[in-house]
């Protein structure tokens, strides 16, 4: 059974990814920072459905804390699937953006990727099979007003994915990014009514978290063994 670590696993999209990977036969390690109760409930739900899941809690912005937490997972077996879904946004026009607003967004998405992936990469290479998927955003491809930091962080992941894929291809490891558009979550429910969705999205609806999860699970599977270094957008035809 392959082991999968999903950062930000307690978020709505993260939960969907965890459920889908577990249903595909992975032992899922659900990462959270502060929402331990939500993560534990998800692990129990997965177990009740016949899957296997555990929880780990740490701050992905802290290099040593992340390294210690990730390395503590390895005695039970290598992590062969990493889904970096952790991310935050703090939307504000750039002219009014504080240093802390910029840094916090960059830290979670971009530095968090380094902090989690770096301790896992050599053990993953040792197995000669691996899948790394970064969950990014359509904002990184198209830009979005008020999201300069968020777009920069996610676009940085696109560059990291493309470069890391070249370092890993010969070791049986693929590295890709999934860039969702407007997805139906509590965070977006109040921002986009039916009229706004119809104006913005050619498919006239928001995407579902399980649709994102299905794409991530495909990229994490044997079937996607020849797909690497790609930014795959799931956005209802927006771009």
Catalytic residues: 150
Check if the beta carbon of residue 164 is closer than 8 Å to that of residue 175. Answer: yes
Report the run of H or E that residue 20 belongs to, with start and end: helix 12-23
Residue 166: C-alpha distances to residues 79, 117, 153 (Å): 20, 15, 21
Structure tokens at 198: 């119809």
DSSP string spanning 78-147?
-EEEEEE---------GGG--HHHHHHHHIIIIIHHHHHHHHHHHHHHHHT-EEEEEE--THHHH--TT-
Check if the beta carbon of residue 177 is closer than 8 Å to that of residue 156. Answer: no
Check if the beta carbon of residue 211 is closer than 8 Å to that of residue 232. Answer: no
Instruction: Check residue 50 and give left, alpha or beta (phi > 0: left; psi -120 to 50: alpha).
Output: left
Check if the beta carbon of residue 55 is closer than 8 Å to that of residue 40. Answer: yes
- Residues, the chain, total? 239
């Amino acid at each position: 059974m392959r082991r999968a670590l999903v950062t930000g696993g307690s978020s709505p999209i993260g939960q969907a990814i965890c459920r889908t990977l577990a249903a595909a036969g992975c032992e899922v390690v659900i990462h959270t920072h502060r929402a331990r109760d939500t993560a534990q409930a998800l692990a129990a739900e997965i177990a009740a459905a016949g899957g296997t899941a555990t929880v780990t809690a740490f701050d992905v912005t802290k290099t040593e804390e992340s390294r210690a937490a990730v390395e503590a997972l390895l005695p039970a077996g290598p992590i062969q699937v990493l889904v970096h879904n952790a991310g935050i946004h703090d939307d504000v026009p750039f002219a009014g953006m504080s240093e802390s607003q910029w840094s916090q967004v960059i830290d979670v998405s971009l530095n968090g990727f380094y902090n989690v992936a770096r301790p896992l990469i050599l053990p993953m290479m040792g197995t000669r099979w691996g899948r790394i998927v970064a969950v990014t955003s359509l904002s990184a491809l198209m830009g979005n007003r008020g999201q300069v930091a968020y777009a920069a962080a996610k676009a940085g992941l696109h560059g990291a994915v493309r470069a890391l894929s070249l370092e890993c291809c010969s070791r049986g490891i693929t590295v890709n990014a999934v860039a969702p558009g407007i997805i139906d979550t509590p965070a977006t429910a109040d921002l986009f009514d039916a009229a706004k969705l119809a104006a913005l999205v050619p498919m006239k609806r928001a995407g579902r978290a399980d649709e994102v999860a299905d794409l991530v699970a495909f990229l994490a599977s044997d079937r996607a063994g020849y797909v690497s270094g790609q930014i795959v957008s799931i956005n209802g035809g927006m771009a």
